[in-house]
Amino acid sequence: MQITYHEPTGDQVEIDLAASGEPFVDVTLVVNGKQLTKRAPARRLLSDFLRHDLGLTGTHVGCEHGVCGACTVMIDGQTARACLTLAAQCQGARIVTIEGLSPSDGTLSIVQQAFSDCHGLQCGFCTPGFVVSITSFVEENRGRTDFTDEEIREAAAGNICRCTGYAGIVAAVRLAAERVAAADAEGQDR
């Protein structure tokens, strides 16, 4: 199981104190392709920042201690736990959430469609985290379709699902990889 932790970008962010004494920051970052600047308490978790300050409620919070994976987003091209990251750490970062991975015309990405075709979701709460994790996995292994069952399960082991027993998820990961490879072979854009 691969857990990646987001290292702070190294960009400086200024802290000022509100009247209450609470430190605040103005964070400038790119979320799903759009640059924005937003003020938030310095201790604001990225998961709360995305969900409540930016209204991007697709990223879900299951544990707030980095284990369940429901909060998985992409930060600067790597999967990361939004619940273990501060918004302030993301100064200058590029973030992609489930909303950013979903086609703007309302259809489903290859990974999303594979999940649906394989009954890889039931309640849907862990699903955005899985889609982000698996999209990253498929991208990193683009073109490969010869995974063993163990490799697929390892790829899926960074996210907990309580509903499906993983049977549909395992099938979806394999199918997604196959379809991406097939689409590449046909020279289409993903």
Among 2, 57, 78, 145, binds other proteins (CB under 8 A): 57
Site for other proteins in 147-166 (CB under 8 A): 149-150, 152-154, 156-157, 159-166
Among 17, 63, 182, 183, binds other proteins (CB under 8 A): 63
Phi and psi at 67, nearest 5°, equal -100, -45
Do the Cβ atoms of 83 and 133 come closer than 8 Å? no
The number of residues that bind other proteins (CB under 8 A) is: 61
Scanning the chain, the segments in alpha helix (DSSP H) are 46-48, 98-101, 110-117, 127-140, 149-156, 167-185
Among 62, 82, 96, 175, binds other proteins (CB under 8 A): 62
- Interface with other proteins, residue 110, by CB under 8 A: no
Show the tokens assigned to 24.
Answer: 């605040």
Of 68, 167, 77, whose CA–CA distance to 59 is shortest? 68
Among 1, 17, 36, 183, binds other proteins (CB under 8 A): 1
Among 4, 28, 122, 141, binds other proteins (CB under 8 A): 122
Show the tokens assigned to 148.
Answer: 């063993």
CA distance 107 to 44: 32
What residue ranges bind other proteins (CB under 8 A)?
A: 1, 20-22, 41, 43-44, 51-52, 56-65, 67-68, 70, 97-99, 102, 106, 108, 112, 115-117, 119, 121-128, 131, 149-150, 152-154, 156-157, 159-170
